[in-house]
Amino acid sequence: MNTQGAPESPARLADSELRGVRRELASARDEQLARVVALLDAMPARGDADAVVAPFRDRLAVLKPTRPLSFTRLLFTPLNPLIVAPASWRRGAQTVPRHTLSAFSAVVRAAMGPRARAVDIAISNQIRPPSKQIDPSPHAHPPIAELGRMLWPEAAQILAAATVPDRWRIETSLSDHDFAPLARLISALLAMALDRQIIAEQISHDGMANPANLSDIVAASLGAPADIAVAATGMLLVGMPRPDLVMEAVEAQSPAAGAAAAAITEGAIVFALKRTQAGAGALADQAPNLDSLRQGAALLQAIESRPTQAGNRRALIQQVRATVEEGCGKIFADTVNTHLHGAMAEFSGVATDGQIASLEQTARDLRELETIGRQLGRATAYRDKLQSTLARVQACPNLTLVDRVRLTELLADTETAMQLLNAKP
């Protein structure tokens, strides 16, 4: 592979070729790495793309390159917290190995026929920020539910009745017996996806959810078949913008859902904590990112506020807290070093409008990371880091006074910014 051009082939690569590609990408500049990821995303057959990208997920989490929405990405958006690297997948674990997504997507596309093309056209006609899960951040153009409505309900029906495709073993290296349990899990969650996404978008927009609608969704999750119910309920906790609202609804529904509901609820909490730990700590196939850290902190707050906690759950909570704290600190440090200090060091003159816009977004990210760190009980450490970062910004000769004042406001507060503005030269 040449980092200046397209990957040589989406087919399976030999181990020696993979090592060579990774070595070349290791020395690639950020923009080259982002370009390669975009090319891999555009491949109709990803092949070993995920194995190529895996060692660089820490860098990509900081770079946050735009990931284009596609038929397969839209199909599995509701299941993103369940998707793991092939090496991390275990039979019966209620997760989905990433390398099977193309195969399931092909089954759905073939069964939909012309309607699949209509989904492609709808996606191409929309401009939407990339989404990693049922997203806790508000997206205005368009709500993903508008696109999911065209795909998720029908895909759920297709996969519920699907049989093993001819090339399943060749493309996934899994046995024929692995297909049905995975298809059943994906089908069950896709059948619930539209209602969940509508609620998620409402919470993102309003901060609250319609209590009756949320109650219905929780009841459907608790009432699912036993081997699906834990994942279905856990997905609500790990995927909704306000896990505290979900916890309240689950606790309100549990008495009416029968004796099994208590075990399902406990299993769902453990499930959500483990998936949060994987997402926040790069223990599966993704590096920590701002969304996963934000969601992890919110989930911990929601669970820790409950009056009773089993002993094993307390131990798991402490593990997850430590992982989220570590991920938050790592992303904070990477963001400071790469996108603030590193960016300012590369200025050849007065910063351009584009460079200033990038710095301002970096400052917003740092403040949010500081907020997450404060929620986790590490306020002092992040405050000290922000103070040293602020000093670097205020002393940068390539920033105008207006730019330094604006960045100071984002990194600190309006009062500090006004002090800088009013200071004598």
**Please, is 277 exposed, middle or buried when counting C-beta atoms within 10 Å of its C-beta (0-12, 13-18, 19+)?**
buried
Which pair of tokens denotes residue 371? 């907020």
Residue from 366, 375, 370 nearest 296 by CA:
375
Buried b (16+ CB within 10 A) or exposed e, 65-85: beeebbbbbbbbbbbbbbbbb
Residue 78 has phi, psi (to 5 degrees) of -65, -15
Rounded to 10°, the helix 379-394/401-411 angle is 180
Q: Which residue type does 117 have?
A: R
Across 103-261, where does the E strand assignment appear?
A: none
CA distance linking residue 416 with residue 404, whole number of Å: 11
Domain map (residue ranges) of the chain: 1-68, 69-308, 327-422
Q: Could you list the pLDDT tens digit for every one of the 425 residues in the chain?
A: 444 443 333 344 455 555 666 666 666 666 666 676 666 665 555 556 666 666 666 566 556 566 678 899 999 999 988 998 888 899 988 999 999 999 999 999 999 999 999 999 999 887 444 433 333 333 333 578 999 999 999 999 999 999 999 999 999 999 999 999 999 999 999 999 999 999 999 998 888 989 999 999 999 999 899 889 999 999 999 988 899 999 999 888 877 666 788 888 888 999 999 888 887 765 333 445 777 788 888 899 898 877 665 566 788 888 888 888 888 888 888 888 888 888 898 888 888 998 899 899 999 999 988 888 888 877 777 888 888 889 989 989 999 999 999 999 999 889 988 888 887 55
pTM for the model: 0.75
DSSP of 110-172: HHHTHHHHHHHHHHHT------SSS-SS---SS-HHHHHTTTHHHHHHHHHS----TTHHHHH
Helical ranges in 282-413 per DSSP H: 290-304, 311-334, 342-345, 353-375, 379-394, 401-411
